[in-house]
Chains A and B, each alone.
Chain A
Amino acid sequence: GAVVSQHPSRVICKSGTSVKIECRSLDFQATTMFWYRQFPKQSLMLMATSNEGSKATYEQGVEKDKFLINHASLTLSTLTVTSAHPEDSSFYICSASGLAGGNEQFFGPGTRLTVL
């Protein structure tokens, strides 16, 4: 199947700093990428949907100025957590879709963000 990578896999930062997470589709062109957040023992929560070349669509309750999403190419989307705080600590997962023949999403391995 198609491969989606995320970088970094783990990041620890101080409160108030910004963190960028990259999501790449390695062997296919992703017309749509999705960003999720997952807290311990909970399900994945969709944060935003981004289509290549256009602005991301954020879910209700997700601050677009705090979670900046850029989908500049068909293989790369980035999520920047600006002015991170301890409550932003979570597991961030991206997924990508775009292969012909269905709406299967391929998920990245996730990024563990810890804000001190």
Chain B
Amino acid sequence: LAKTTQPISMDSYEGQEVNITCSHNNIATNDYITWYQQFPSQGPRFIIQGYKTKVTNEVASLFIPADRKSSTLSLPRVSLSDTAVYYCLVGDIKGNDMRFGAGTRLTVKP
């Protein structure tokens, strides 16, 4: 059983900021939160990973509140090429017990 819950789909327009929230109420003390992007017929691609507070890299930001029961992936100024399925996963340091949920299908419109 997946340990995360996300919206099934989201629509946005080019240039907008997109925030995708993931619930993980039963996150364990040793769990990290990782987000992946997947295009059709390709393997998932790592976006960002965090444990607490805020993490930012060149493509996204990850916001994690103090209780760590949820997290929000923020994609600044999306483009058409960001149309994909986004998965939020939680798992321990070795990546064990990581389960994919249904993911969020993001559609970016012109």
Contact = CB atoms under 8 A, between A and B. Distances in A.
Contacts, number: 66
Given A1-B46, A91-B41, A97 B95 contact: yes
B15 to A, nearest CB: 27
Contacts of A91: 41
Interface majority SS (helix, strand, loop, mixed), chain A: strand
Interface of B: 2, 32, 34, 36, 41-46, 49, 87, 91-96, 98-103
A95 interface: yes
Nearest to A59: B99
Contacts of A104: 34, 46, 49, 95
Nearest to B96: A49
A43 B100 CA distance: 7
Interface of A: 1, 4, 6, 31-32, 34, 36, 43-46, 49, 91, 93, 95, 97, 102-110, 112
A43 B95 contact: no
A46 B98 contact: yes
Contact of A46 (B41, B87, B100): B100
Contacts of A45: 100
B94 A110 contact: no
19 contacts: A4-B43, A6-B43, A34-B95, A34-B98, A95-B43, A95-B44, A102-B93, A103-B91, A103-B96, A103-B98, A104-B46, A104-B49, A104-B95, A105-B95, A106-B46, A107-B46, A108-B43, A110-B42, A110-B43
A44 B100 contact: yes
B99 A46 contact: yes
A103 B36 contact: no
Contacts of B101: 43
